[in-house]
Amino acid sequence: MNTCSSATSPALTGPDTPFAVVDVHRTRRNIARLRARAERLGVTLRPHVKTAKSLDAAALLHGGTPGPVTVSTLAEAEAFADAGHTDITYAVGIAPHRLPRVIALLRRGVTLRVLLDSTEQATFIAAAAREARTGLPALIEIDCDGHRGGLRPDAPGLPGIGRILHEAGCLDGVLTHAGESYSARTAGERRLAADEERDAAVSAAERLRAAGLPVRTVSVGSTPTAHAAEDLTGVTELRAGNYVFFDLVMAGLGVCALDDLALSVVVTVIGHRPEYGWIVTDGGWMAMSRDRGTAAQAQDQGYGLVTDLQGTLIPGLVMTAASQEHGTLTARDGGALPDLPIGTRLRILPNHACATAAQHHGYHVVDGSRDTGTPPAIEAFWPRVTGW
Amino acid sequence: MNTCSSATSPALTGPDTPFAVVDVHRTRRNIARLRARAERLGVTLRPHVKTAKSLDAAALLHGGTPGPVTVSTLAEAEAFADAGHTDITYAVGIAPHRLPRVIALLRRGVTLRVLLDSTEQATFIAAAAREARTGLPALIEIDCDGHRGGLRPDAPGLPGIGRILHEAGCLDGVLTHAGESYSARTAGERRLAADEERDAAVSAAERLRAAGLPVRTVSVGSTPTAHAAEDLTGVTELRAGNYVFFDLVMAGLGVCALDDLALSVVVTVIGHRPEYGWIVTDGGWMAMSRDRGTAAQAQDQGYGLVTDLQGTLIPGLVMTAASQEHGTLTARDGGALPDLPIGTRLRILPNHACATAAQHHGYHVVDGSRDTGTPPAIEAFWPRVTGW
């Protein structure tokens, strides 16, 4: 298991493959870039920690002290609360059976906001808050682009839901997520998606305020729109998660460069099929996930691009197939295969950092800015929060 | 976390969602079916434990005593050795850095066979066996259908590789896997794939024997071919893994019925978007995996079919989209959506049991044959072996 071998492994040649690697230099640079944007835009940055699910990575988000975060599971909320985080938004629609865990966190002094988009949810949140005699801050999810959950900003039921929450002392604000921005192909489309995301959230907030309901939080964000927004007037906070690591989908969109990708998976060459043009590795979908996010982009990157152990791209080499514990590398456009003997270690840059990271217990951490030779030194192991 | 809530949860209404469920009744029936086939065909059954990765599930494979197994990682081999298994085949091509872990298992008295398909690997296996003064049994991988690794049975290098192994006391036999049988669309095609799988392995074994090299093991298998084979003359053992749970891909192929699917994921309804025809659940790709194996079949089942908590299919309801912690259910062919209020628990039958199971720490176990009412009782928790 990765966790066992990590403590004593001095370099990327040490741990048994496959294993996940994070370049902390790139991670810091990605974090600094969005922090600077949020400061310039005058909004609070509330990173989504669902990508890394790592307390160590989260420690870099706000300059070393716990700051606002977004989570995708109560397991994350509980782990972050244990580590001293007190300002957490749980950005998945609340189910009634979860309220005891939510209330337990609130009673520990954590400001845990829940999400809802229905009268039914507002009603059980209000009832639970009254019964528990506690504040139970809630955000109404607004749908800005037909991607997933939420109420349209002009939905007839919006003020009524706001009122149910307000009368129980639970109304905190509104939240939207431009999930469709992952399909925006140009900077102009991303900018437009960011404007629409802002407009949806702000207009929903204004409708609630016009109904006499106080709205504190107006929360927007996705990694593509967070990097495209130029005017967030009326918005109080910005969310993004993937940006900490970035991935081939984000590079394909133009949100980042390949040189910004901070997550990769180290694999070992275990075979060759020259008659088919294949190099076989021990990194299959168990190590990379089944995510094929770039399949819908102009440049399909298969299951990932390939670098050497130092992180330098091997031009034209793509991971084109995966079974559980096998990956197949091929040369793009019929190019020549590089000479990579059995035992050679490579790194694979993933389609989707959130999905690939989820296949691992944690990350072996290297600092790409310090690499002076081969192989890169492992400086730390960052475990992941798992489960629900 | 699932593991924490399991001990005290009496029913599928207890643990927080999403979580994986195994119906042990169906599992036992699936196991008994292939055991009976293997007995009739006169071959040893060596199940692949990479699907369930569970010592508890493995205890059912051979009637309660440890029997031959196949593994996909050395973490599995070590966990199974710890539990008393002594006859293990590691069916992924061996990399040189793994030999110390292999030799450590051999020295514990485990017959751990490794796999190879090159002179390079045969050479380092032979050298390691000599240096360690231990038997290091090896199987030569044979390619029967161009799916992945292996040597074609007529490959010029085959006898030479066999000789390198034999001279170091390492030659155990040959192994092949008809991976392309997952694309076989009819019973006739699966039967043909089973014949080709057998012929490739047996002819490779005969070539080695004709060169004066002893071949003990002639190993074939995949879930589709294992259930189609009618004549395994010359074969000594049959492998299959997925059959323990089965899944929608296998049902789509006709290898099993929907009623045989033993693995599902319990999710909770968290929202409705009637304007789009969506029911939103808390089971996204983190719970189901990104596997979309049925997308290539005649009937695309999305991310899975939907049952009630008792396991009864809800006709026409399909999980058609997934984000990290959200699943979207839609009615097939524009049918009406069932009335499933927020908080309703459902079970999702997955495309690919191996991939979905890998997203969970383990399985809450129910016995479908005992269900007399609602909700099904949880009888056990089976943890999974994780990592590499």
Q: What is the pLDDT of residue B7?
A: 45
In this complex, do B282 and A92 lie within 8 Å of one another by their Cβ atoms? yes
The mean-pLDDT minimum among A220-229, A278-287, B2-11, B212-221 falls in B2-11
Question: Distance between CA A61 and CA A38 in Å, rounded?
Answer: 12
CB A166 within 8 A of CB A173: no
In this complex, do B92 and A270 lie within 8 Å of one another by their Cβ atoms? yes
Q: What is the pLDDT of residue A265?
A: 98
Question: Distance between CA A314 and CA A299 in Å, rounded?
Answer: 17
Report percent pLDDT > 70 for chain A. Answer: 97
Architecture of domain A2-18+254-383: Beta Barrel (2.40)
Question: Distance between CA A325 and CA A323 in Å, rounded?
Answer: 6
Minimal Cβ distance to B1: which of A75, A143, A354: A75
Q: How many CB atoms lie within 10 A of CB A364?
A: 24
Note the pTM of the prediction, 2 decimals: 0.96
Distance from CA of A219 to the nearest CA of B (A): 19
Distance from CA of B75 to the nearest CA of A (A): 7
> Mean pLDDT score of chain A, rounded to an integer?
95
In this complex, do B325 and A50 lie within 8 Å of one another by their Cβ atoms? yes
Whether residue A331 has pLDDT greater than 70:
yes
Low-confidence ranges of chain B (pLDDT < 50): 1-8
Break chain B into its structural domains and give their ranges: 2-18+254-383, 49-240
Pick the CATH number of B49-240 from 3.90.226.10, 3.30.360.10, 3.20.20.10, 3.40.50.10490: 3.20.20.10
Question: Distance between CA B238 and CA B117 in Å, rounded?
Answer: 20
Q: What is the pLDDT of residue A371?
A: 66
Report percent pLDDT > 90 for chain A. Answer: 92
What is the band of A63 on the pLDDT scale with cuts at 50, 70, 90? confident
**A89: alpha, beta or left, given left = phi > 0 and alpha = psi -120 to 50?**
beta
CB A85 within 8 A of CB A62: no
In this complex, do A179 and B323 lie within 8 Å of one another by their Cβ atoms? yes
Helix (H) or strand (E) holding B127, with range, is: helix B119-132
Question: Distance between CA B373 and CA A34 in Å, rounded?
Answer: 53
For residue range A104-158, what is the model confidence (pLDDT) as tens digits?
A: 999 999 999 999 999 999 999 999 999 999 989 999 999 999 989 999 999 999 9
Q: What is the DSSP string of B219-281?
A: EE--HHHHTT-S--TT--EE--SGGGT--HHHHHHTSS-GGG--EEEEEEEEEEETTTTEEEE
In this complex, do B290 and A286 lie within 8 Å of one another by their Cβ atoms? no
Distance from CA of A358 to the nearest CA of B (A): 8
What are the structure tokens assigned to A365, written together? 């951490």
Distance from CA of B148 to the nearest CA of A (A): 8
What are the structure tokens assigned to A174, written together? 């509104």
What is the band of A370 on the pLDDT scale with cuts at 50, 70, 90? confident
> Crossing angle for the helix pair A158-167 and A119-132, nearest 10 degrees?
0
Whether residue A5 has pLDDT greater than 80:
no
Residue B149 with chain A: CB contacts under 8 Å:
270-271, 273, 280, 326
Q: What is the pLDDT of residue B371?
A: 67
Question: Distance between CA A124 and CA A204 in Å, rounded?
Answer: 22
CB A377 within 8 A of CB A5: no
